[in-house]
Each structure stands twice: as C-alpha cells, then as structure tokens.
Amino acid sequence: MRCYICGLKREGKCTMVKKIIIGILAVVGGIFLVFGIIVGFFLVSDFKQEDKLETEIEGFWEMTYKLETLDYEEVYARANRVVTKDDYALVERAMKAYIWDIFENNIKILSLLADENISNVLSSENYAADGPDFPKTKEYIRHMRSEFQECKREHKELAAEDRMMSYVEKYDLDSYYLDFYRERMDIVRSWDSDGEFEGQIDILLDWMDSFETVISFLEENKGKWEIVNDYLTFEDDELTEQYEALLDGIFEDEAPEEEYEESYGEIPLDEEGTGLIQL
C-alpha cells in the first residue's frame, strides 16, 4: 500500500481561496472608484436638490466601499433614508435601490467565500468524517454551486439596461428625471464591463465542478483508500496517480503569485502556509 499526502507546499503561499477573495475585493473596490466620475455630473448643477442628492449618494457609496469596517445595519439604514424632496426623492430611492442590489449581491459572494467549509472539502479530515459515500459533501457542493450560479445570474441581470431602468421607471417621472438617472447609473451599470468580476465567479463554479469530480473518484473507489493518521492512502500506485492528476487539474490554473500582485497588489503571506488538503 502506497502512502500519499497531498497539499500545497508549505512556503507561506496564500491559499487559492484567499487569492480569489483578494481578487474579488479588488474588483469590488473598482465599483466605487467610478463615483468620482458620477460626482462630476452633480457638481455642475446649481439645483439644491441635486446637490443634496450628490452628497447623499457619495456618502452611501463610501459606506459600501469600506468593507473592512462595514456596518451592514448602518448601510441598510442609509439606503432607506431619503434626504431630497418631490421627484428628486423618487430618483434618490431608485438610485439607492439599484446600488444596494449590486452591493448586496457582491457581499453575498464574499459571505459564501468566508465559509471555512469551502477550503475543507478536499481535506483528509473531511474524507474521514464523510467518506466513503460523502452525502454531506456532495450536498454542500450542490448548494454552493447553486448559490454561485444565482449570484452570477443576478450580476448579469443587474448589468442590463432594462433592469437598471426598472428601478426608476416604476415612478411616473418626467423625461428629465429619467435621463438624469440614466446618465449617472449607466456609469455604475458598466462597472464590470471588462467581465473581470464575472470571471471570478466562473472560477468558483469551476472549483465546484472539480471538487465534485474528486469526491466522485473517491466514492467510486471506496474500499481502495483510507485515512490513517491524517494520511490519505491508496492500495496501489495507479489510483494515487489518478488522484494526483485530478488535483493537478484544480491547481494548474492557479495564477502565479507575481500575476496577482501585478493586478491587485502585494498578497499577504499565510504564516503557516496551509493548503486545500489539510494533513
């Protein structure tokens, strides 16, 4: 019987989950960078209501951007208050509702990634606890895939002009206010025009498929492997090589550390350097 241990090299590298989180956070931050363009529209206006709306929306953006100090209840309260009057109040409600839905969908993705179980699916601990048939693991993967698919669907819908305009068109407003809303929210709508954020979601969906393939392999070969003292062991070298090939398929698309640093800045090191497979 050949003993096989699988995990990322313990060289202080960030885990794949952490890299994806960093990538998504960086892209989410990009939403709020476009607000400087939005403000430019407001600043040329002499209307008091538009000035109030500028200040309110700018403050709302800033609250949703500061994820490290995010107070969800405070953001929710800000989203539901109205500081303008008459037709501008309706425009304000529409803008905040649209921005809120984008924010909430992005926060949902980050919340899913914060689930520690996502990095424990391919761990020896999980193999021992849920194998060899893996009923809980398979249900967990199905659930996470469904959640990520729903987030992707919502992301694409929010980027559609019809969806964007639906927030304001439900009010009986003059065309001036509709155009006022459209020219500002068009900038927000196009925040992921390069598809980078959607690409991150696709990576997560690919993960779920790969995790499912590995779990199915172990289920199909039950009785031919076991966990001994936190070591995954197979009864022959051929199964070991097949298992290793499956894991290589997961890790081979992992971008080099230099590429992540170029795109998102320096990657914080994991002090203990753990991998997806915990030993």
Question: What pLDDT shows up at residue 80?
Answer: 94
Give the three-class secondary structure for 6. Answer: coil
Question: What pLDDT shows up at residue 147?
Answer: 97
Is the Cβ–Cβ distance between 72 and 115 less than 8 Å?
no
Question: What pLDDT shows up at residue 22?
Answer: 56
Question: What pLDDT shows up at residue 188?
Answer: 82
Question: What pLDDT shows up at residue 19?
Answer: 59
Question: What pLDDT shows up at residue 242?
Answer: 95
Question: What pLDDT shows up at residue 183?
Answer: 85
Question: What pLDDT shows up at residue 28?
Answer: 54
Is the Cβ–Cβ distance between 56 and 84 less than 8 Å?
yes
Is the Cβ–Cβ distance between 87 and 173 less than 8 Å?
yes
Structure tokens at 76: 């929710």
Question: What pLDDT shows up at residue 4?
Answer: 46
- Rounded CA separation 243/123 (Å): 13
pLDDT in tens, 52-91: 887 888 788 778 766 667 888 999 999 999 999 999 999 9
Q: Which long-range contacts (CB under 8 A, 24 or more apart) does 48-51 make?
A: 49/84, 49/85, 49/86, 49/88, 50/88, 50/180
Q: pTM score > 0.85 for this model?
A: no
Segments of the chain with pLDDT less than 70: 1-47, 65-68, 252-279
Question: What pLDDT shows up at residue 253?
Answer: 55
Question: What pLDDT shows up at residue 211?
Answer: 95
Residue showing tokens 């699916």:
121
